[in-house]
Amino acid sequence: MKPYPAYKDSGVPWLGEIPAHWEVRRAKQLFQSKKEINRDRAHKNILSLTLRGVVNNDPDNPEGLVPKDYASYQFFQKNDLVFKLIDLENLRTSRVGLVHEDGIMSPAYVRLSPHHNGIQRYFFHQYYDLWLRGIYNQLGAGVRSTLGQSDLLNLGILFPPPDEQSAIVRYLDHANQRIDRYIRVKRKLIALLNEQKQAIIHRAVTRGLASNVRLKPSGVAWLGDVPEHWEVLPIGRFAKVGNGSTPSRGNIAYWRNGCYPWLNSSQVNRGTIDSADQFVTETALQECHLPRVTPGSVLVAITGQGKTRGTSALLQFEATINQHIAFITPRSVFMSSEYLHLTLTGAYTELRTISEDSGSTKGALTCQDLKRFKIPIAPLAEQNQIVEAITQEAKPIQDAIARAEREIELIREYRTRLIADVVTGKVDVRAAAEQLPQTEIAVPETPSEIENNEIVEETECPPTPAKKVLRV
């Protein structure tokens, strides 16, 4: 794709030079902000703004936090833009969506309704580009830490001719389909590799390494028979178990200039946690009674509707955690942290079963569940041998997983750059759009490759250069 023949300065730092025939308009020329509260409860269709866009929410089994009374919610119409731009110093909380049908959502969101003769989906792509590039977080950083309706209405917005808006939408929707398909294939590969690794771990932590060892009944269904010289004990017998909380985002004394690592459950997916990207203050630790979790503890994700719940990770530095994670800190010198982590990894399926049988429609593990959970315990020397054997056998699989994850990361970076280049006119896609097939599958509002979409647990964030990282 080639650039346009002539460019001009947009006057907007994050837009740069734009095609000479494009206009820059204030958003208030194209949109109006409305806020219609559902006081009479006339509207029943509940929507939610997630990291995958606006989705329908079941009032009988809702995702995330819900109000006691939906009379406080505000009404949105189809094709409205919706923004959550609160607490922008926390890079994980901002998001933007295009409303697919009439419904009600949180009163904290900003609603922009169109009054232009353009194509609304093009403007969604433009606002989505600002989210991907972290522009909202940069604009809202500092004392305010938020953007409101007046801020959004005063932004400079590009207005290409409508036929070019149509070409851009057609091209980007097609490109997003292909990127999503690529990522789905990689995710399926990762799932298969993880199943293979899971089988290796499960066999080693329940049977040991010797093929001719004498076995005994463990008395635990998921374990079956275990080596005769092993013990089977509940975790609470040899470890401290607890969980954390989330300090109020509205209290700047808890977050401003924080330097103590605070982790949410998305971190558990990493397997080994050696860095943090969110930090709280000493004031938060004391007033919110947050636990100081020591290195060598094992963290377990205990809530969530995605695949994260039931996963575990080994913590390599001191940190605190939110309410969606439990920590397990061995008290005995006869329990290897690495062995405990691998044992819980091998028990993932059983932990998921326990959480789904807990009576909660959303599924959850409790600290008591973990304290009562029985695991096989080999002698310490054998634990170390098992850890070493699993590490060696699983290394080729782990390397393949890492390669696939890196490929997903690279294609996401490509998507971000592509959307930015196309919606700001750095490349001309009109000819490419004309060559696309006429019949295409309808695309989701936002890229669908994000799998962990819980509303409470914000697990994806736009790329940003201003990321504080602690490495040990």
pLDDT tens digits along 210-239 = 989 999 999 998 899 999 999 999 999 999
Kindly list the distances between the CA atom of residue 406 and the CA atoms of 141, 272, 410, in Å, as whole numbers in the listed order. 29, 17, 6
Buried b (16+ CB within 10 A) or exposed e, 379-409: eeebbebbbeebeeebeebeebbeebeeebe
Distance separating alpha carbons of residues 108 and 427, to the nearest angstrom: 36
Distance separating alpha carbons of residues 335 and 387, to the nearest angstrom: 12
- The C-alpha torsion from 303 through 306 and 310 to 312, rounded to 10°, is -100
Lowest-confidence region among 81-90, 93-102, 295-304, 460-469: 460-469
| Structural contact between residues 284 and 290, judged by C-beta atoms closer than 8 angstroms | yes
For the segment 384-413, the average pLDDT, to the nearest whole number, is 96
| Alpha-helical runs (H) found in 106-207 | 120-132, 135-139, 149-153, 162-207
Longest Cα–Cα distance of the chain, Å, equals 81
CATH 3.40.50.720, domain 209-377, yes or no? no
| pLDDT score at 34 | 86
Task: Please determine, for residue 277, whether its predicted confidence score (pLDDT) is greater than 90.
Answer: no
∠270-272-275 over CA atoms, to 5°? 85
For the segment 364-381, the average pLDDT, to the nearest whole number, is 94
User: In DSSP terms, which residues pair with 155 in a beta bridge?
Assistant: none
User: In DSSP terms, which residues pair with 105 in a beta bridge?
Assistant: 74
Distance separating alpha carbons of residues 106 and 46, to the nearest angstrom: 9
| pLDDT score at 203 | 93
Give the DSSP letter of residue 222: T
What 3-11 contacts at long range (C-beta under 8 Å, 24+ apart), as own/partner pairs, is 3/426, 3/427, 3/428, 4/425, 4/428, 7/425, 10/156, 10/158, 10/424, 11/156
Distance separating alpha carbons of residues 356 and 310, to the nearest angstrom: 11
- pLDDT bin (cut points 50, 70, 90) of residue 269 is confident
| Structural contact between residues 53 and 97, judged by C-beta atoms closer than 8 angstroms | yes
Map residue 363 onto helix, strand or coil: coil
Distance separating alpha carbons of residues 187 and 451, to the nearest angstrom: 10
Lowest-confidence region among 135-144, 356-365, 407-416: 356-365
| pLDDT score at 453 | 38
For the segment 382-399, the average pLDDT, to the nearest whole number, is 96
| pLDDT score at 305 | 65
Task: Please determine, for residue 63, whether its predicted confidence score (pLDDT) is greater than 50.
Answer: yes
| pLDDT score at 460 | 30
Lowest-confidence region among 209-213, 219-223, 385-389, 456-460: 456-460
Question: What average pLDDT does the chain have?
Answer: 87
Q: What is the CA radius of gyration of the chain?
A: 25
Q: Look-up: residue for tokens 């994670």? A: 325
Give the DSSP letter of residue 351: H
> CB neighbours of 396 closer than 8 A, spacing ≥ 6?
none
Q: What percent of the chain has pLDDT over 90?
A: 67
Q: Smallest Cα–Cα separation from 131: which of 27, 51, 22, 56?
A: 51
Burial class (CB in 10 A: 0-12, 13-18, 19+), 450: middle
Q: Class assignment of domain 7-183+406-471?
A: alpha beta
Q: Smallest Cα–Cα separation from 110: which of 131, 89, 141?
A: 131
Task: Please determine, for residue 160, whether its predicted confidence score (pLDDT) is greater than 90.
Answer: yes
Kindly list the distances between the CA atom of residue 422 and the CA atoms of 30, 31, 45, 172, 415, in Å, as whole numbers in the listed order. 20, 22, 34, 8, 10
> CB neighbours of 409 closer than 8 A, spacing ≥ 6?
none
| pLDDT score at 459 | 32
For the segment 390-401, the average pLDDT, to the nearest whole number, is 96
Task: Please determine, for residue 121, whether its predicted confidence score (pLDDT) is greater than 90.
Answer: yes
Q: Smallest Cα–Cα separation from 252: which of 145, 148, 151, 147?
A: 145
The residues of the chain that CATH labels 3.90.220.20 are 7-183+406-471, 209-377
pLDDT tens digit sequence for 316-352: 999 999 999 999 999 888 899 999 999 999 999 999 8
Q: Smallest Cα–Cα separation from 200: which of 410, 387, 420?
A: 387
Strands 17-19 and 7-9: antiparallel
Would you tell me the crossing angle of helices 337-346 and 348-356 to the nearest 10 degrees?
Answer: 60
Task: Please determine, for residue 155, whether its predicted confidence score (pLDDT) is greater than 80.
Answer: yes
The 10 Å Cβ neighbour count of residue 431 is: 11
Query: Phi and psi (nearest 5°) for 63?
Result: -85, 140
271: left (phi over 0), alpha (psi -120 to 50) or beta: left
Task: Please determine, for residue 447, whether its predicted confidence score (pLDDT) is greater than 60.
Answer: no
For the segment 77-85, the average pLDDT, to the nearest whole number, is 94
